[in-house]
């Protein structure tokens, strides 16, 4: 009987350990995939000649100039009349670039579109928003999930504050944006995503409040001078930082699994003692 109790306790603990470890392990897998996509993108860009890069930039610039005449990012009819699909502009592989947000240890690929498949593995570029190459009268919109058990993604986006910076790596360009506005809006409110004449904006979008997702958190950055050393230094520390954070997040679950196992074992132990006592009294 004692061996059965021990085995039962071990099974419960291991089950709890497996459940608690899932976010940690799955995030490691997701982060490894994201890192590989980023590495492949950088390799593809390095292998491109300057003429091809310039041609792609010119195509993206023309697309953005067309968009600057659009009143709203939700006006699909006007966008459909513009001809060239934004997905055909920069065919460099799986992603169109990547984003780094040093403060919250984000280093993620940017993909075309905002489908569920895209948002489950990285950051999506919202169609009908400016292609992420900057310039006057542009407004790039990037979206990401938060709270997924399998990946961190934009989970910590709400920790950004006015003055924090994030970086877009597209082709041979690195664009720096400084956060100048943080707002919470209804899902159907898109006024803050519109292009502003003469401005160079990039807005990061995710759901809020955490796990409720009834509204949208908009973190807007305005183009600023790129100071490469900060991004380079923090980028090299991101994977370790994200891993450490995930371990910290998992420990409460591990402790909980251990306590549950102890409580169940204690319950079984005292139940057996009580039954033996009753048998002796009879």
Q: Is residue 9 domain-resident?
A: no
- Structural domain count of the chain: 1
pLDDT digits (tens, 9 = 90+) for 135-147: 999 999 999 999 7
Range(s) of the domain holding residue 128: 15-71+93-228
Q: Is residue 218 domain-resident?
A: yes
Q: Is residue 186 domain-resident?
A: yes
| Structure confidence at residue 79 (pLDDT) | 45
Separation between Cα atoms, residue 133 and residue 222, nearest integer Å? 13
| Structure confidence at residue 169 (pLDDT) | 96
Q: Name 63's Cβ contacts closer than 8 Å, sequence gap at least 6.
A: 82, 84, 86, 89, 131
CATH classification at residue 135? 2.40.260.10
pLDDT digits (tens, 9 = 90+) for 18-37: 665 656 666 677 788 899 99
Separation between Cα atoms, residue 142 and residue 19, nearest integer Å? 31
Which pTM value belongs to this model?
A: 0.74
Higher-pLDDT residue of 74, 63: 63
Higher-pLDDT residue of 168, 264: 168
The overall average pLDDT reported for the chain is 80
Contact 152, 212 (CB under 8 A): no
Q: Name 18's Cβ contacts closer than 8 Å, sequence gap at least 6.
A: none
Q: Is residue 39 domain-resident?
A: yes
| Structure confidence at residue 190 (pLDDT) | 92
From the CB of residue 59, how many other CB atoms can be counted at a distance below 10 Å? 17
33 noted as active-site residue: no
| Structure confidence at residue 30 (pLDDT) | 78
Q: Is residue 124 domain-resident?
A: yes
215 noted as active-site residue: no
Judged by average pLDDT, the poorest of 65-69, 130-134, 256-260 is 256-260
Higher-pLDDT residue of 261, 164: 164
User: Own/partner pairs for 189-192, CB < 8 Å, 24+ apart?
Assistant: 189/216, 190/72, 190/73, 190/74, 191/72, 192/218, 192/220
Classify residue 193 as exposed, middle or buried by CB count within 10 Å of its CB (0-12, 13-18, 19+): buried
pLDDT surpassing 50 at residue 239: no
Q: Is residue 36 domain-resident?
A: yes
pLDDT digits (tens, 9 = 90+) for 67-105: 877 544 444 444 444 445 555 666 688 899 999 999 999
Average of per-residue pLDDT across 248-277: 59
Q: Is residue 267 domain-resident?
A: no
Higher-pLDDT residue of 81, 175: 175
Q: Is residue 204 domain-resident?
A: yes
pLDDT digits (tens, 9 = 90+) for 181-194: 999 999 999 999 99
Q: Which of 139, 145, 169, 202 is catalytic?
A: 145
| Structure confidence at residue 171 (pLDDT) | 93
Judged by average pLDDT, the poorest of 97-111, 123-137, 144-158, 218-232 is 218-232
Higher-pLDDT residue of 202, 227: 202
Contact 32, 86 (CB under 8 A): no
Q: Above pLDDT 90, what percent of the chain?
A: 51
């Amino acid at each position: 009987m004692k061996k059965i109790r021990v085995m039962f306790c071990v099974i419960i603990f291991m089950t709890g350990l497996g459940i608690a470890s899932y976010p940690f392990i799955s995030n490691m897998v997701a982060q490894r995939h994201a890192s590989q996509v980023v590495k492949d993108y950088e390799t593809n860009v390095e292998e491109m000649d300057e003429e091809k890069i310039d041609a792609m930039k010119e195509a993206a610039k023309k697309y953005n100039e067309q968009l600057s005449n659009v009143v709203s990012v939700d006006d699909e009819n006007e966008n459909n009349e513009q001809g060239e699909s934004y997905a055909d502009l920069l065919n460099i592989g799986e992603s169109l670039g990547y984003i780094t947000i040093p403060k919250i240890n984000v280093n993620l690929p940017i993909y075309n579109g905002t489908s569920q498949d895209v948002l489950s593995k990285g950051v999506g570029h919202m169609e009908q928003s400016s292609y992420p190459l900057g310039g006057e009268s542009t407004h790039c919109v990037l979206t990401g999930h938060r709270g997924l058990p399998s990946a961190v993604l934009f989970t910590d986006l709400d920790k950004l504050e006015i003055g924090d910076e994030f970086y877009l790596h597209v082709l041979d360009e690195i664009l720096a944006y400084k956060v100048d506005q943080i707002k919470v809006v209804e899902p159907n409110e898109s006024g803050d995503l519109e292009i502003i004449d003469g401005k160079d904006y990039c807005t990061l979008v995710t759901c809020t409040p955490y796990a409720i997702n009834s509204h949208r958190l908009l973190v807007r950055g305005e183009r600023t001078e790129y100071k490469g050393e900060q991004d380079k230094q923090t980028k090299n520390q991101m994977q370790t930082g994200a891993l450490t954070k995930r371990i910290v997040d998992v420990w409460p679950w591990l402790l909980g699994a251990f306590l549950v196992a102890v409580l169940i074992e204690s319950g079984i132990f005292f139940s057996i003692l009580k039954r033996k006592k009753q048998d002796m009294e009879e």
